[in-house]
Chains A and B, each alone.
Chain A
Amino acid sequence: AQRVTQPEKLLSVFKGAPVELKCNYSYSGSPELFWYVQYSRQRLQLLLRHISRESIKGFTADLNKGETSFHLKKPFAQEEDSAMYYCALSGRGSYIPTFGRGTSLIVHP
């Protein structure tokens, strides 16, 4: 069975501070990991995928298979980063992601 754990329901930081949203997973094979974001009054949308190794809006995430983690990081938070962030996992060969419960990020001015 696959499982995604986001231990923090809420993360509150000031503008310019570093941000790390934690995600741990449980999966016996090689997973595909994603971060989705939902801004206020907008639909859920993909932020980034581990397989792309890209930086989107200053965010990066590295898959650590030893620690089974996929934490989302940004060195300097901006107010417009305030949103709900969901970590998601798909098993290899599966097209159905399992989502974590989400972390609400609030960036104060």
Chain B
Amino acid sequence: DTGVSQNPRHKITKRGQNVTFRCDPISEHNRLYWYRQTLGQGPEFLTYFQNEAQLEKSRLLSDRFSAERPKGSFSTLEIQRTEQGDSAMYLCASSSDRGRGGELFFGEGSRLTVL
């Protein structure tokens, strides 16, 4: 297992376009998280899945953002009608409820640039 995998690693798009990011968690992990990180800031929570159920969403998350985790395996994060303020690194992480409590395993991130 190579760890959490995210793609694409980089995405450049024009304002108003839709983008989708994919995250493949570590195979036995039932928890999956999406965070966003901008320059000079720490990771900011977006949403959390336990298996296929989306259990929590940040109140800061615009309705242009939607995430899914069909069958409790990989997850996708879609941003519709992108804005320049959406430019950021989008981080996916996974964890197991059987492992060391609280340890998140992060992917390398998907960097979004909105022109």
Contact = CB atoms under 8 A, between A and B. Distances in A.
Interface of A: 4, 6, 9, 32, 34, 36, 43-46, 49, 51-52, 86, 88, 90, 95-102
A32 B56 contact: no
Given A43-B107, A44-B91, A44-B106, A99 B42 contact: yes
B90 interface: no
B86 to A, nearest CB: 19
Given A43-B108, A44-B91, A95-B31, A90 B102 contact: yes
B45 A98 contact: yes
B42 A46 contact: no
A95 B42 contact: no
A97 B100 contact: no
A36 B103 CA distance: 9
A34 B42 contact: no
A79 B78 CA distance: 40
Nearest to B3: A43
A97 B102 contact: yes
Interface in B96-115: 97, 100-109
Contacts of A36: 104
A44 B35 CA distance: 12
A101 B107 contact: no
Contacts of B56: 96
B40 interface: yes
B95 interface: yes
A46 B43 contact: no
B108 A97 contact: no
Interface in B69-91: 91
Nearest to A33: B102
A70 B48 CA distance: 25
B104 A97 contact: yes
Contacts of A9: 40
